[in-house]
Amino acid sequence: MSSLAQLMHHLSATSNLPLYQQLQRALREAIDRGLYGPAEALPAERQLASELDISRITVRKAIDGLVDRKTHV
């Protein structure tokens, strides 16, 4: 299991937060911890969806939220 996958193993369908927000937080934490540098790409949507057993739409919504947050800061 990759370090990113370890951070995301806590995604839960029963959480009060929507799944995309849980993933968004996990991705943000991975970036903050230095798993991905400024010039590095995140794993592909397909890869994340497959590894986490979630839909690509959920992955895309989480990544779009990160991008949105970045452009509004």
* The predicted structure's pLDDT at residue 4: 65
- Dihedral over Cα of 25, 43, 3, 34: its sign: negative
C-alpha separations of 38 from 20, 24, 41, 50 in Å: 22, 17, 8, 24
Give residue-wise pLDDT tens across range 29-52: 888 888 888 888 888 999 999 988
DSSP 43: P
CA 68 vs. chain centroid, Å, equals 14
What is the pTM assigned to this prediction?
Answer: 0.80
For 1, other C-beta atoms within 10 Å of its C-beta total 8
DSSP 40: P
pLDDT(2) > 60 = no
